[in-house]
Amino acid sequence: MLHIGTASINTTPKDWEGNTRSILEIIDAAKQQSIRLLCLPELAISGYGCEDDFHAPYVHATALEMLLHKIVPATQDIAVAVGLPLFFKGAVFNTIAFVVNGTLAGLAAKKHLAGDGIHYEPRFFKPWPVDTVSTYRVRLADSVSLEVPLGDLLFELDGVQIGFEICEDAWVAARPGIGLAQRGVHVILNPSASHFSFLKTHTRERFVVEGSRSFNCAYVYANLLGNEAGRAIYDGECMIAHGGELLSRGPRFSFRPWVLTSACADVQNTQVKRSRIASYTPALDNNRTIRVAFSPKVQIGNNDPLPEPMTHATQAFATSANLKAEEFARAVALGLYDYKRKAAAKGFAISLSGGADSAACAALVYLMAKFAIADNPQGFARSTGLDTQRPLREIVSQLLTCVYQKTVNSSTTTETAARTLATEIGARFHVFDVQPLVDNYEKLLTDYLGRDLTWEADDIARQNIQARCRAPSIWTIANVEGYLLITTSNRSEAAVGYCTMDGDTAGSIAPLGGIDKDFLLKWLHWAETEHLPSLRTINVQKPTAELRPQTSRQTDEADLMPYGLLNYIQKAAVIDKQSPLEIYQRIRQHARSYPEFQYEDQQLYIYIERYFTLWSRNQWKRERYAPSFHVDDENLDPRTWCRFPILSGCYKYELKQLKETLGLLDKY
């Protein structure tokens, strides 16, 4: 019987002492639980998000120093797998140190590097060739060194064979687990840094459980936790499966620095089952097996109970019919908590307009405090200096300042909605009248132009003046209070540049930047039902910037197009890389599935042309957006996901093709 542990860790890039302290705490807790084999996440010593500093020699040296002088001595009576970057023969490799009973037994190297989406591993690391083993010389002192095996390794501890699939290794078709199974592996460890994405948990569970079944072994999965380096959020999901059965699963989105999960697996039974499989053909070349004198197995007598596994109750939201909404709330709440904590900020400031976007941001700060206190009240108190025994509204009042900044175009509806929400969550709320500032700027420009500004001739300019007049005051509040300024822009606005640079985009973090407005509006209805009834005052409104006179009845969708259509075009253009003509044909082909898209050809052309023109002209805005959280594969962040030239042909040729096809050359 083998008692196995897996742990999630909230690491920070190059926080050597903090990361190592968490690792040592986990090892100590594991030994207290009688765990004999422990798997920790990928690059846990250095942090996963070191970026180009993975090329810095001191980074490799410091990671190795922490491993040899801090972690290895703490592994008496336990086997531990922990990740670090390793410099070898002029290249950097992503490796897992396998430390057994106070000795570095070897270093397994990652074979398949994640190089798509937000991952840039091939920029930093080299893939280790399959079936290759080398020797790494570790300098212990000036005249003392140790040679350890490095590469595609299989370790054997008292007859228990242990192999590795390191994160991306398990996501490719030619998984290393196939070869490991042929070599008779009993346990596969998967130390990972797998970023959160909506519903990704289902995919992870499938390859963990199916891997344990098809490879006939125990499969152990460890993942990072929290907002590690600014944009990617890690949900901390850890799993242990054996023979096609999920034995144990850790909680996701924890606010604790680390979470340990364990289970007992009958690895001897693995051998019996495998021997009965007619299709199993063993690989008889075991030259790459590293044998270590250590018994990880727990000897159980007839009357001895099994070691108590460290399991976790299934979180209530895990089986929710609204799982995507729950995941968004918890992922962004955790992301904001870590962003504030690691940036040493005291709280948040929001220009609360009484509309959907700013209301969602305020609600997420409230949920951040609510979830963090419920999960880790001591840690929350340490990081904020606040008494968690006080009512939640009082705590939020120390973390969030909201300002409603009105002009003559603002309505009592939005002011009331902003005040109602701020009151329910406990945020400090203020009303600033910025119309005198707007008037002063318009007078300056009237003098410069030699004429009055009019809505007919200067529509966009007059809207932008209002948006920019709101930025200085809320920025100053954030500076004075030591707060982070939240910008409220969402992905749909980013796609078409429906924002004012240095106005409503001002801020240091954009929690909504990774999601579209269509989803956000649905999420607000969910949040109203589940958490904040005052959001009803937001949800009954049609989204509007309130930058034109109220007599114009300005709405976002009238300025742009229906959000559902905008998101459909965006996904087809950005994710599926379709041309304007292909998107038109796709909409027509799917007309039955999307009855709301029943537009005349001329109107549909106007919307498609508007999207592609605005998308092309506003790439420079996307380059300047505040950092946002990555929550799905439709992100538009050009620094981590979606690259597009700042200057381009603006789809003029492609739009002309569509216009010709529709016979609109002379009509539009």
Q: What angle do CA 185, 303, 37 make, to 5 degrees?
A: 30
> Is the separation of the CB atoms in 180 and 156 below 8 Å?
no
Q: What pTM does this model have? A: 0.94
> What residues pair up with 232 in beta bridges, in sequence order?
630
Asked if 572 and 580 touch (Cβ cutoff 8 Å), the reply is no
Domains for the chain: give ranges and CATH numbers: 2-300 (3.60.110.10), 320-555 (3.40.50.620), 561-668 (no CATH)
- pLDDT of 267: 86
Q: Which two tokens stand for residue 12?
A: 């920070």
Reported residue count of the chain is 668
Q: Is 561 exposed, middle or buried (0-12, 13-18, 19+ CB in 10 A)?
A: buried
Task: List Cβ neighbours of 409 (8 Å cut-off, separation of 6 or more).
Answer: 466, 546, 547, 548, 549, 550
pLDDT attached to residue 278: 55
The whole-number pLDDT of residue 138 equals: 87
**Sole residue written with tokens 């095996």:** 149
The alpha carbon of residue 143 and the mean position of all alpha carbons in its chain are separated, in whole angstroms, by 45
**Residues whose CB is less than 8 angstroms from the CB of residue 313 and which lie 6 or more positions away in sequence, other chains included:** none
What is the rounded distance in angstroms from the CA atom of residue 35 to the CA atom of residue 312? 16
Q: What is the pLDDT of residue 465?
A: 96
Is-contact 254 225, C-beta < 8 A? Answer: yes
For the record, the structure tokens of 332 come out as 């962004």
- Give ∠ CA 325-504-350 in degrees, rounded to 5: 60
Nearest by Cα to 155 from 207, 103, 232: 103
Q: What is the pLDDT of residue 666?
A: 73
Residues facing 289 on adjacent strands: 154
Of the candidates 120, 51, 124, 115, which has an alpha carbon nearest to the alpha carbon of residue 87? 124
Residues 6+ apart with CB under 8 A from 37: 2, 3, 4, 5, 78, 79, 162, 187, 189, 220, 296
For helices 455-469 and 471-481, angle between their N-to-C axes, nearest 10 degrees: 10
pLDDT for 11-61, tens place per residue?
999 999 999 999 999 999 999 999 999 999 999 999 999 999 999 999 999
Biggest distance spanned by C-alpha atoms of the chain: 97
Contact 611, 566 (CB under 8 A): yes
DSSP 8-49: EE---TT-HHHHHHHHHHHHHHHHHTT--EEE--TTTTT-TT
Looking at residue 295, its pLDDT comes to 85
**pLDDT < 70: residue spans in the chain:** 141-143, 271-282, 284-287, 299-306, 313-314, 319, 667-668
DSSP conformational letter for 71? I
Token pair of 284, please?
Answer: 């008889």
The phi-psi region of residue 47 (left if phi > 0; otherwise alpha if psi is between -120 and 50; otherwise beta) is left
**Sign, CA torsion 205/207/208/211:** positive
pLDDT (0 to 100) of residue 304: 64
- In angstroms, rounded to a whole number, what is the distance separating the alpha carbons of residues 178 and 215? 7
The amino acid occupying position 377 is P
